[in-house]
Amino acid sequence: MANKIFPIDNDQLLQYGKELLALELYEATKLPDRLGEDFITACRLILATKGKVVVSGIGKSGHIGRKIAASLASTGTPSFFMHPSEALHGDLGMVEKNDVALLISYSGRAKEFNLILPLLAAMEVPIIAITGNKNSPLAHAAQAVLDISIEKEACPMGLAPTSSSTNTLLMGDALAITLMRAKQFDEHDFARSHPAGSLGAKLLIQVKDVMRTGDQIPRISPKATVFDAMLELSRTGLGLVMICDDKNHILGVFTDGDLRRLLLKNGTLQDAITQVMISPGYRLPEDWKAVEALKNLHDHNISAAPVVNHHDELIGALNIYDLHQSGIG
């Protein structure tokens, strides 16, 4: 049956949206006052566990459960989602005695849980319930009950989970972030679990991870001329060439900007590079964070720099473009 489209004005559309948000916000305002001994118990159970948090729920509770499991895992609490139906067909084998079960059901009467609860009890796996029914079988089986009950769903028919699903999400976030703070999980820990994200790039990537190496390093000997430097600048396209002794120590640097200024002052391509190079020149330590290197390049108003190791030997080079390509800045 095709959906019927009824005439409706813009003000009415906005009103429907505002009414839903107002109802959901109203129900959510009750949650802080419900955090008490059960919330503390839930946190203590998870903090004490040597295993994982196994999150489970079906329907909309399952969808939100997946998000809660992901939030826990990414903020320092090992966790995974287990679908209740799949649990009854083999996935329950993933649960171990040292784990904690976080079971989500607004009614607390999901039939799949009726079979799972005694099995978890036999394994001595602690149960935390997120439910709107404190007198349900799920609540009675749990060591901690997180109350997400509502007076009214924002759905006008009272059928689609709206206010209740929002409360579930908020309670899961409260649990995940409380545990994160209790564990003193900081931005560096977060970056390690999000290495592909922008924060991971900023906090984990070092200069040595993004620098140019080998033949990509522009370098010439102190016996070279400006012409030799120009060829090396053209070959690598870095905008910078290093003048190094036979032990690979940097004696000075010469940039494409230096070349232009030299020629404008009637210098020649046959000039000795040692007479026109900048000495000693700026350099970057290999173990600096890449974001720190970018800041220093900007602070010194330069676009490229050599990279040295702890023995002050040239081992690489990079410019601002290399850093941007790596997700820095």
Spacing of C-alpha 318 from chain mean position? 26
The reply, when asked if residue 89 is annotated as ligand binding, is no
The residues, ordered by sequence, that sit 6+ positions from 193 with a Cβ below 8 Å of its Cβ are 73, 74, 76
Amino acid identity of residue 169, one-letter, is: L
Give Cα separations from 57 to 64, 93, 284 (angstroms): 8, 17, 52
Q: SS3 of 191, please?
A: helix
Collect contacts of 137-145 with beta carbons under 8 A, ≥24 apart: 137/108, 137/109, 137/113, 138/103, 138/105, 138/108, 138/109, 138/110, 138/113, 139/108, 141/117, 142/103, 143/41, 143/45, 144/38, 144/39, 144/41, 144/42, 144/45, 145/38
Sign for the CA dihedral angle at 282, 284, 290, 295 comes to: negative
Distance CA 48, CA 143 (A): 14
The residues, ordered by sequence, that sit 6+ positions from 115 with a Cβ below 8 Å of its Cβ are 88
184 touches 83 (CB < 8 A): no
Q: Which residue, 192, 167, 166, 230, is CA-closest to 76?
A: 192
Residue 72 phi, psi (nearest 5): -60, -50
Binding residues: 83
Residue ranges for the known binding site for Zn(2+) are 83
